[in-house]
Structure formats: C-alpha cells, structure tokens
C-alpha cells in the first residue's frame, strides 16, 4: 500500500494536509497528516469520506452533449475530440462575429488549487473575454471592509490562539467551518482561557462556549460600539496603543460612542445590558484577546460597516499589538505571490467585467453585446448565487452556448450544451495557499482521474493550444507553473521544500501590521469617505421589510458546499433539508415540528421540512447548507435572496432576505 501526501482542495480556511492510502491504484483511506502543525493529524468528517467523492456512482466519466431542453438533464455521451472540436468551433465563430467579450469564462472556488483554478482564469484573460468579478458571492465585502480598516494583509495567526487569554468566536461556527482552529482553542481553554461566542444562532460552537451572546442579525457593529463605549467609560482603552497605532479614534470617541450606551446597545442587539457589560469587562481585562470573525456578518446591506466596526475593537485594547491577540477574518492577502503570471499571462488590460452575483442579470441583458458563450468550472451558480431564478432564466437562453467542467451533474450543468467530466482534487496535483492560516503546500496527485475525467489544468492547456494562445505557461508542468508564482514575489519559499510536500508557513510573531494609507488601524477612513461611504464606524437600521421573518443561512455540517452533494453518505448525515423556526413563530402560524412548509417572498418559494427549535430567536428562519434541487422541492433557498449589493465590495446580501413561512401540502 502506498501513502501519498496531498492537500485538501475544498473551499475551507483550514487547507488540511492529508495522507491518502492507495492500494492497487485505488484510494482506500484518507486521514489527516500528523506532520502538519496546524491541521495536525485529523481531517473533518466530510473529507475522511472523500474516497466516496472520487468513486461516487454519480461521478461524470465521459463528455456529454445536450439532447433535451436546457435544464432537463438530457445528454448523450460524446468523445473528448468531439467536445473539443465543438467548443473551439463555437468560440472561434463567436469571437470572429462578436469579439471575445461575447464569451464569459471562469473557474471558481470548488478547487482551491492556484494552478488548476488560476490557469483556467488565465486562459480567458489571454483570450480577452469578459471577466468575472469573482468573490462577490462570498468574501468581497468582508475583504473590502477589512482592507479599509486594517489594510490588504491577513489578520492574527490562528496558531497564536494557544497563547491568547480570551477567545471570541464572532459570527463563526468553528465546529462547522474551522475545526482545526477549534482544536487550538481547546488547547487554550485547558489553561482556563474563556471562549465567548457571539452568533444569532445557538450553534455547536455557541453551545460549547463559556459565554454565549445571541445577537440579533445585522447588529454586530452596534455591539462593538457598545463595548467600545464601556471600555472608554471604565478606563480600559489602551491610550498609548491608540495614539501610536490608530487613526481617528478621537473622532469616534467624540461623535459616535456617546450614542452607544449599554441601554441603547441592548435595544438594538436584543442582548441584556448585563451581558453586554460582562462581555465588555472580559474584553477590557484581557491583554491578548483573539477574535475569529465570520464572513456571514458581511453578507447584508450594511455588511461592510458591520465587519469593519468589529475589526476595530482589538485596536481599543491594544490586542492587535500582541502575539496571541487581535482578530482574523482571512489570511490570503498576506500571500503576495506573482498571481498575474498564471491568472493574467497575456490579454488586454481592460475588458468587460461581470459581477459574479449579477451573473443572471448579465446573461439576461439585452442589447448590442450579449454574452453568447459561458464556461464554468468549479462553481454551481444555479444553486449558490442569490436570485437563482434569474440565473436559471439566463442559463436557459437557447442562444447561449454553455460549457460546464465539473465532476458531477450539478444544477448548473443541467443547463449546459456540453458537460465535461472534471477530475477531483485527489486526481490532480496543485499548489495551495490557505486563506485561513499562513501555510502553503504542494499537493500530489493521488490516483489517475476516474474514467475520462480531466483536470482543469489539462483542459485549459488543451484549449489554449487549440485556440492559438501561445503563452509559455500553457505548456508548463505544474511544478514549473508553481515556480512562476514565486518569480519576483515577496513571499519567499524554497520550491524544492514545497515540492517535497512540506507545509511552509509565512507567519511571524509580531503583532498586527497595518497596510492602510496611513499605516495605522483606521477608525477614520478617508478611502471610504472618498467612495461616499461613512468614514467612521456606526450602526444604522435597515429599511422596513415587506415580510415578517428574516433568513439566516449557514453552512451545513456535512453539506457545507454543493461540492459535497455527490456523496450519498454525507447527504444522509446532513438529513433532509430543513428550516428552523423559533417555537413562538411556529405557534403563531399554527406550524408544528416535522411538517412540510413553504418559504416564500416576492422572488419565489421553496419547500422544506420544519424544525421547531429555540436555537434561533423569534423573527428568524434558519436554513443550513446549500442543497441541490433533487433534495429541496421547488429549488434552492437562494432563490429567495435578491441580488443587491453590500455597502462595500459589491458583495451579496443573502442575510438581508425577508420572507414568510406557511404550511405546505407536501414536499415534492
Ligand atoms: S477541515 Fe476543511 S481543509 Fe480540512 S479536510 Fe475538512 S474541508 Fe478539507
């Protein structure tokens, strides 16, 4: 039996090092790699089962051509040669007639490898096609808010949490989305360090915390300002740190904080005054408070302001200045690699961009320059985008030539003209850098791709050759491409060490650096003012909604992405798709636990099974996981989410969705 070290490529901040055991060319077991300092010998309950992902009977093994109506899922097998000939002929014809911007092509986050994903995007950049403004369905708002506050740099090193003296999980269900950070926090807790969880849902993390604050959705900035108010009132602000490392706190102290008394903060957040006081006292007493901030708080109309305000809090106590303290949202910005070598090898400097969350609108846009061809790899926008009804209407356009490269027949692939079987990450090699730690690692291919599946890289390089794209990177091997990423980059690492599979960290032990225009933590941001946004942190109420209940979507424990929906065991572990209502809301609607319900608003409706639990507060409907159509009657919950923008970063506003829940006759 051979043991091969590789890296988990799922969209997850942990980026585990894995050991895959192979017998007779087949993976028989996957385990965490004990030699990795952070992921330390265990993989999560989803990826322990990734043999089932590779050998799923639902895997696509040959190219397919559509023979039925779009969306019907009727296809016939064709050869790779037929598929490639058709793609190249159609793309070449469209470019000749309408120019390259009539094509939109991209790879997204279901394969986190910098080579497979990066070079696919590089092909479309080189062809001069329309470009996807990616990340807007995920982290663009959080990134913009963090950048305006701290700068384009990662936050606290998650490995430093073992040295902290207070841990705050703010809007982050670590049990579902960051299990290795959870393990490090447990080490700190063994020393008596307390864990505070702030979350609108009583998650597993919240249940295990020492102190849980069930905050109202979208009021995180108010709580952060209320805590700052108390810190100032009680003389717990670190004045020396504020003077040396921050900008504009005096204005915030004068103009904003007086409005966030504990009483008003309680009114806004729904938290008792005593709990706000207790949390502020704990925070003020800590020297090295470590805060993990979740992305969810940024996915609503004032999401940027929300996250930015929370990210300012460690500046008041000086926690940013101490190893073990500070805050982390993500780390990716610290990997200053030569990404352009892969993602932008050639092509025009400027081309039409399409915001990812507006993909439906872009596909439906009438006018002189419609998108005539679409290529999608590693993404399932027909389920994961907001306003998925609009996406599906766009994908259903008969005159749109769509190619999808995926290991499975996703809801998006059902609308494609050509579906190409993609290799999973265990069948590809790639270079990875984490977005939740400071590690980089090279992952080896474990087994040959199943059937006729191809990696994104192989497809990209083949299409580049046939489309006449001659940049050398399209002829390089993966190790050669990885070296290009380090050419002239600030990040120093020995490629030989990486190619041996060793995980390399770029973390240091200094406190948080700030890469804002002032070089300081910016309580006052001129960059935001210049964009017409409030330069100082604040909380403002959302407009009155037309429906009484607010949607809260969270990752499922076993179905955190639709990428896991090809594994029957994980679907069963997650259970039937469900919505959770507080007992008061269920009773007032005459609804009972276990019955079929309809979630509906002006955009659509979806039927789910009801769970009546007090894990959410009154006024909230919780829907965990993104489930495919076959499992949730009427489509996906994201059909109910509008495709409006957040205040910063042009991101999606999933958590600003209002709706009603009513009885349904049945599901399906
Ligand atoms: S915790 Fe994340 S990185 Fe680790 S195995 Fe699971 S999905 Fe992959």
Q: 550-561, pLDDT tens digit by residue?
A: 999 988 777 777
Q: How confident is the model at residue 611 (pLDDT cuts 50, 70, 90)?
A: very high
How much distance in Å is there from the Cα of 501 to the middle of ligand 1? 17
Q: How confident is the model at residue 632 (pLDDT cuts 50, 70, 90)?
A: low
Q: Report, as an integer, the average pLDDT of 199-215.
A: 97
CA atoms within 13 A on the CB side of 134: 16
Relative to the CA of 9, which ligand 1 atom is closest?
Answer: 8
Domain borders along the chain are: 2-54, 64-137+355-500, 155-329+515-530, 549-663
How much distance in Å is there from the Cα of 563 to the middle of ligand 1? 13
59 C-beta closer than 6 A to ligand 1: no
Give, for ligand 1, the residue of 10, 109, 176, 331 to mutate: max count of ligand atoms closer than 8 Å to Cβ.
Answer: 10
179 C-beta closer than 6 A to ligand 1: yes
Judged against a pLDDT cut of 90, whether residue 248 lies above it is answered with yes
Q: How confident is the model at residue 563 (pLDDT cuts 50, 70, 90)?
A: confident
Check residue 232 and give its pLDDT.
Answer: 98
Q: Report, as an integer, the average pLDDT of 24-40.
A: 94
CA distance 534 to 221: 13
Assign a CATH topology to domain 64-137+355-500. Rossmann fold (3.40.50)
> What is the percent of the chain where pLDDT is above 90?
89
pLDDT tens digits, one per residue of 97-125: 999 999 999 999 889 999 999 999 999 99
pLDDT tens digits, one per residue of 382-410: 999 999 999 999 999 999 999 999 999 99
Q: What is the model's pTM?
A: 0.95
What is the CATH number assigned to the segment(s) 549-663? 2.40.40.20
Cβ atoms of residues 559 and 625 within 8 Å:
yes
16 C-beta closer than 6 A to ligand 1: yes
Judged against a pLDDT cut of 90, whether residue 368 lies above it is answered with no
47 C-beta closer than 6 A to ligand 1: yes
pLDDT tens digits, one per residue of 425-436: 999 999 999 999
CA distance 383 to 10: 17
pLDDT tens digits, one per residue of 129-178: 999 999 999 999 999 999 999 999 999 999 999 999 999 999 999 988 89
CA distance 52 to 45: 12
Judged against a pLDDT cut of 90, whether residue 189 lies above it is answered with yes
Cβ atoms of residues 425 and 441 within 8 Å:
no
Check residue 667 and give its pLDDT.
Answer: 61
Taking CA atoms only, the protein residue closest to ligand 1 atom 4 is 16
12 C-beta closer than 6 A to ligand 1: yes
8 C-beta closer than 6 A to ligand 1: yes
pLDDT tens digits, one per residue of 226-237: 999 999 999 999
Kindly state the DSSP code that residue 657 receives in the 8-state scheme.
-
Tokens of 257: 């904080």
Question: Residue 604: helix, strand or coil by DSSP?
Answer: strand
Cα–Cα–Cα angle for 119, 120, 125, rounded to 5 degrees = 85
Class of domain 155-329+515-530: alpha beta
How much distance in Å is there from the Cα of 132 to the middle of ligand 1? 26
Taking CA atoms only, the protein residue closest to ligand 1 atom 8 is 8
Check residue 665 and give its pLDDT.
Answer: 77
Q: How confident is the model at residue 367 (pLDDT cuts 50, 70, 90)?
A: confident
Q: Share the mean pLDDT of the chain.
A: 95
Q: Report, as an integer, the average pLDDT of 273-280.
A: 98
Judged against a pLDDT cut of 90, whether residue 565 lies above it is answered with no
Cα–Cα–Cα angle for 307, 311, 316, rounded to 5 degrees = 140
Judged against a pLDDT cut of 80, whether residue 512 lies above it is answered with yes
How much distance in Å is there from the Cα of 553 to the middle of ligand 1? 20
Judged against a pLDDT cut of 60, whether residue 668 lies above it is answered with no
43 C-beta closer than 6 A to ligand 1: yes
Query: How many other CB atoms are there within 10 angstroms of residue 327's CB atom?
Result: 26
How much distance in Å is there from the Cα of 328 to the middle of ligand 1? 18
Judged against a pLDDT cut of 70, whether residue 630 lies above it is answered with no
Check residue 474 and give its pLDDT.
Answer: 98
Find how far residue 598's CA is from the centre of its chain: 27
Give, for ligand 1, the residue of 18, 44, 158 to mutate: max count of ligand atoms closer than 8 Å to Cβ.
Answer: 44
Q: Report, as an integer, the average pLDDT of 329-341.
A: 96
CATH number for 2-54 (one of 2.40.480.10, 2.60.120.620, 3.40.50.261, 2.20.25.90): it is 2.20.25.90
CA distance 565 to 586: 29
């Amino acid at each position: 039996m051979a043991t091969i070290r590789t890296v988990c490529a799922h969209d997850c901040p942990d980026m585990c090092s894995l050991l895959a055991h192979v017998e007779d060319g087949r993976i028989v077991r996957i385990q965490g790699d004990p030699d990795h300092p952070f992921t330390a010998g265990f993989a999560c309950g989803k990826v322990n089962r990734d043999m089932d992902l590779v050998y799923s009977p639902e895997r696509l093994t040959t190219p397919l051509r559509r023979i039925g109506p779009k969306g019907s899922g009727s296809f016939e097998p064709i050869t790779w040669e037929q598929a490639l000939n058709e793609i190249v002929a159609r793309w070449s014809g469209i470019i000749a007639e309408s120019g390259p911007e009539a094509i939109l092509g991209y790879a997204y986050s279901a394969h986190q490898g910098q080579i497979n994903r990066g070079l696919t995007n590089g092909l479309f950049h080189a062809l001069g096609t329309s470009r996807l403004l990616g990340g807007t369905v995920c982290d663009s708002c959080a990134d913009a808010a963090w950048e305006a506050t701290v700068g384009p740099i990662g936050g606290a090193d998650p490995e430093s949490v073992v040295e902290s003296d207070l841990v705050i999980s703010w809007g982050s269900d670590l049990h579902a989305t960051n299990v290795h950070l959870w393990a490090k926090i447990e080490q700190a807790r063994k020393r008596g360090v307390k864990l505070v969880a702030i979350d609108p849902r009583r998650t597993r993390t919240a249940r295990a915390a020492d102190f849980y604050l069930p905050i109202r959705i979208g009021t995180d900035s108010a709580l952060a300002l209320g805590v700052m108010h108390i810190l100032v009132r009680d003389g717990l602000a670190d004045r020396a740190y504020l003077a040396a490392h921050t900008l504009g706190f005096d204005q915030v102290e004068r103009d904003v904080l007086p409005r966030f008394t504990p009483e008003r903060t309680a009114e806004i957040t729904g938290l008792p005054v005593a709990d706000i006081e207790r949390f502020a006292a704990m925070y003020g007493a800590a020297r090295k408070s470590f805060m993990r901030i979740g992305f969810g708080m940024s996915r609503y109309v004032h999401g940027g302001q929300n996250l930015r305000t929370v990210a300012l809090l460690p500046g008041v106590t000086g926690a940013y200045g101490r190893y073990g303290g500070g805050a982390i949202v993500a780390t990716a910005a610290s990997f200053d690699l030569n990404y352009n070598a892969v993602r932008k090898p050639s092509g025009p400097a400027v081309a039409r961009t399409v915001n990812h969350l507006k993909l439906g609108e872009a596909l439906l846009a009438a006018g002189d320059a419609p998108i005539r061809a679409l290529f999608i790899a590693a993404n399932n926008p027909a389920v994961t985008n907001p306003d998925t009804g609009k996406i599906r209407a766009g994908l259903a356009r008969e005159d749109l030539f769509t190619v999808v490269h995926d290991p499975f027949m996703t809801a998006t692939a059902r609308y494609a003209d050509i579906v190409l079987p993609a290799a999973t990450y265990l069948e590809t090699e790639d270079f990875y850098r984490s977005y939740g730690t400071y590690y980089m690692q090279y992952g080896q291919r474990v087994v040959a791709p199943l059937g006729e599946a191809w990696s994104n890289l192989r497809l990209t390089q083949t299409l580049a050759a046939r489309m006449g794209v001659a940049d050398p990177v399209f002829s390089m091997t993966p190790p050669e491409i990885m070296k290009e990423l380090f050419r002239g980059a600030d990040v120093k690492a020995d490629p030989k060490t990486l190619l041996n599979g060793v995980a390399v960290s770029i973390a240091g032990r200094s406190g948080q650096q700030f890469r804002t225009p002032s070089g300081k933590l910016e309580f006052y941001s001129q960059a935001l003012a210049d964009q017409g946004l409030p330069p100082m942190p604040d909380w403002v109420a959302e407009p009155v909604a037309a429906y009484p209940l607010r949607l809260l979507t969270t990752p499922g424990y076993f179905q955190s992405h639709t990428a896991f929906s090809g594994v029957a065991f994980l679907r069963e572990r997650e259970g039937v798709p469900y919505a959770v209502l507080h007992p008061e809301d269920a009773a007032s609607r005459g609804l009972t636990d276990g019955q079929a319900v309809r979630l509906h608003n002006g955009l659509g409706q979806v039927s789910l099974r009801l769970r009546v639990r007090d894990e959410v507060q009154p006024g909230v409907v919780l829907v965990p996981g993104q489930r495919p159509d076959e499992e949730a009657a009427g489509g996906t919950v994201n059909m109910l989410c509008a495709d409006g923008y957040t205040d910063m970063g042009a991101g999606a506003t999933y958590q600003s969705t209002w709706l009603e829940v009513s009885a349904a006759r049945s599901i399906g």
